[in-house]
Structure 1
Amino acid sequence: MRRRRLGNELRRRRTAAGLESRAAAEAMGWAESKYSRVENAKGRVTPQEVESLLKFFGVEDAQVVAALTNLARDASKRGWWRPYGDVVADSYRDLLDLEADADAEQFTGPAIPGLLQTSAYAREIIGATGLTRTQEEVHALAELRRARQAILTTRPGGLAPLKLWAVVHEAALHMTSAEQPHMMREQLRHLLDISDLPNVTIQVLDLRGTAHPGMIGLMEIVQFPAPWPTVVNLENLRGSHFVEGTEDVKVFEDAFARVVAAALSVDASRMKIRNIMNGLDT
C-alpha cells in the first residue's frame, strides 16, 4: 500500500509537470519499464531517487519532498501484524498499512467499528461475517483487532494517537449473544470508557432518526497529513475496496458530514449508550 501511494503521487507530480514517463526514466538513467514499475508499485525506489525525481519534476516544497522520501524509506517496512500470517487478508493488510500512517479516521456502519470492539464482541462479529473462517482464525483475527486498537493511545515514532470519529447506528447497540450473555454490557461499558479519550468521538444514530447516506453500508474515511490524499475503505463479505481520487473521495466526505448531522450529539449519544447498558432506554 505504501508503494502504491508513493507511485500514485509520483505519477501525479510528473503529470502536473507536463512530463512523459520516458523523460523521467531518461533523467534517472533508467529503462522506461523500470520507471513504469515504480509508478505502478511493482518496483522499489530509494529515498535519494525519489528526491532526484521530484527535483526533475520541479517540486520544491520541502514538506512534500520529506513526505515522499520518508514513504520511500518506509515502503518495505514490515507491519506489526506480520506474525498473524495468512489469516490477514490482503485488503485488511492494506487498511492496517493506511492506519499506520494516518492521523484521523471517520467511520460509519451497521456494527461497532473494529477500533472500538471488545474481544468478545469482535469474536461474535468476525464469526458471523467471516463465513469461511475456522474457529482458530476467528480467535486470531479478534486478537489482531484488539492489538490494532493500540493506535488510539500509543504510536511509534512520536506520532500522535489516531483521531477517530465513529457514528454507529443504535441497532448495533442492541445486539445480543446466546453464547456470551454479558457481551453487550461489556461492549457498551467499553464505548463509554474509550469515549473519554480526547481523540475519540462517538455518536449514535437514533432508531427513530431520519434517513441518511450511511444506510448504504460501512465506510471508513482515512485521512493523512499533507500532502497525502484521503482514502476511503468500503467493506463487504469478500473484503475491502479502496476509493481514491479527489472527486470520488469528496462524495464520501460529504456523505459522512450528513451522517454526523443526522446523529445524536456526543452528550446525547453517551446518554443513549448508558441507558441501553443499564436497560433503561425508553
Structure 2
Amino acid sequence: MRSNPTGRQLRLGSELRKLREVAGLTATQAGRLLGVKQNQISNMEAGRVGVSPERVRTLADHYRCADTEVVEALCGMTSDRTRGWWEEYRDLLPAPLLDLAEAEHHAEQLRTSVTVHIPGLLQTSEHAREVFRQDAPELSPPEIEHRVSFRIKRQSVLFRDPPTVQRVVIHEAALRMQFGGPKVARRQLEHLAEMSERPHVRLQVIPFSAGAFAGSGQSIYYINGAVQQLDSVNLDQSHGPVFLDAEEQLQKYRVLLSRIEAIALPPMDSRDFISAIARNL
C-alpha cells in the first residue's frame, strides 16, 4: 500500500475512476465485476495500490470503454516502475515539484506562455538562483542550491534522444526583468537565443507593442500526455505548482495558448528581438 502516491499514480487512478463513473457503476459494483472488494477499487482509484496493464484492460472491458488508444495510454502509465532521478529530492523539496518533473519526463510535448518570468526549462543556473533568492519565506542557501540543481536536471528532457518538443511564448516584460543584474540577464537572454535554434524548441516573443491579449495575467504550462485525455495544465502559484486536468479546463487553455501563439512574433524574428535586448544590456 502506497502512503504517498506520485502525481502520475494519482492521475492513473483518477482516469480509472472517470471510466467507471461514465459506465454508471459504483465502486462496489465494479468490485463485483472484477471479483474484488470495493475498497480495492477505491485504493486503485486513489493511487494507493499498483495496477497492472492486464487489470486496466479488464476494467476498461467491464466499463465498456471502446477507445483503445486511451486504454493503451493508461496501460503505459502502469508499466514504468522505474524510480526517476527526481526521487533523489523526495526529502528535500515539496512533492508537487517532483510531480512536475515526473510529468515533464513522460510528456509528449510542452507548451508554455509566460509574462514576467523565463520558463524554468530555459533558465540558466545563475538566473534560477536569483529567482529562488526572492522566495518568501526566505530559503536557506542549501535550499536554494537544491532547487537550482533540481531545475537544471529538469532540463534534461530537452537534451535526451529524442528530445521533448517545447513551444514557448515569452512576453517582452520577462525579457527585460534583470534578475541578478545586467551580466546575468545578458547571459540568460543569450541562452534563450541559443536554445531557440534547436529544432525541437519553438520560441516566440510578444512585444509590448502587441498590446493586450487573452491569458496575459498568468503563466500557463500545458503538458501533453500520450493522448489528449491525459493532458494536464500546470499553473505556477506562490505556494507551488497546481495541476488541472478537467476536460473543460484543458480546452480553455488550449484555446488561450493558440491565441497567444498567433499574436506573437515568428520564431526567427523572436530570436532577433531577444538578441537585440541582450546587446543593449
Q: Tell me the TM-score normalized by structure 1.
A: 0.89
Give the C-alpha shift of residue 263 in structure 1.
Answer: 1.9
Give the C-alpha shift of residue 223 in structure 1.
Answer: 0.8
Q: Unmatched 5+ residue regions in structure 2?
A: 1-6
Give the C-alpha shift of residue 279 in structure 1.
Answer: 0.9
Match of 1:162 in 2: 164
- Alignment CA distance shift 1:103-1:135 (3 Å): same
Q: How many residues align?
A: 274
- Provide Cα deviations, 1:68-110, integer angstroms capped at 9, x if missing partner: 2221222x53221122343321111111121111111111122
* Displaced runs of 4 or more, over 4 A: none
> Whole-Å Cα distance in 1 between the matches of residues 50 and 203 of structure 2?
40
> Whole-Å Cα distance in 2 between the matches of residues 147 and 40 of structure 1?
29
1:82 equivalenced with 2:83 (yes/no): no
> Whole-Å Cα distance in 1 between the matches of residues 177 and 66 of structure 2?
53
1:173 equivalenced with 2:175 (yes/no): yes
- Alignment CA distance shift 1:35-1:177 (3 Å): closer
> Whole-Å Cα distance in 1 between the matches of residues 90 and 136 of structure 2?
17
RMSD: 2.0
- Alignment CA distance shift 1:213-1:37 (3 Å): same
* Greater Cα shift, 161-170 or 59-68: 59-68
1:34 equivalenced with 2:36 (yes/no): no
- Secondary structure (helix, strand or coil) at the match of 1:208 reads helix
Match of 2:150 in 1: 144
Match of 1:113 in 2: 119
Q: Structure 2: which amino acid aligns with 1:84?
A: Y
Give the C-alpha shift of residue 130 in structure 1.
Answer: 5.1
1:277 equivalenced with 2:278 (yes/no): yes
* Greater Cα shift, 181-190 or 58-67: 58-67
Q: Structure 2: which amino acid aligns with 1:25?
A: G
Q: Answer yes or no: is the 8 Å Cα contact 2:90–2:98 preserved in 1.
A: no
* % identical equivalent positions: 32
> Whole-Å Cα distance in 1 between the matches of residues 170 and 179 of structure 2?
19
Q: What pairs with 1:122-271 in structure 2 (closer than 5 Å)?
A: 122-129=128-135, 131-154=137-160, 160-177=162-179, 181-226=182-227, 228-271=229-272
Q: Unmatched 5+ residue regions in structure 1?
A: none
> Whole-Å Cα distance in 1 between the matches of residues 51 and 26 of structure 2?
18
The structure 1 residue matched to 2:99, chosen from 94, 116, 119, is 94
> Whole-Å Cα distance in 1 between the matches of residues 130 and 160 of structure 2?
26
Q: Answer yes or no: is the 8 Å Cα contact 1:213–1:256 preserved in 2.
A: no
- Alignment CA distance shift 1:132-1:37 (3 Å): farther
- Secondary structure (helix, strand or coil) at the match of 2:85 reads coil
Q: Answer yes or no: is the 8 Å Cα contact 2:172–2:207 preserved in 1.
A: yes
- Provide Cα deviations, 1:182-226, integer angstroms capped at 9, x if missing partner: 211211111111111111011111122211133211110111122
Q: Answer yes or no: is the 8 Å Cα contact 2:177–2:185 preserved in 1.
A: yes
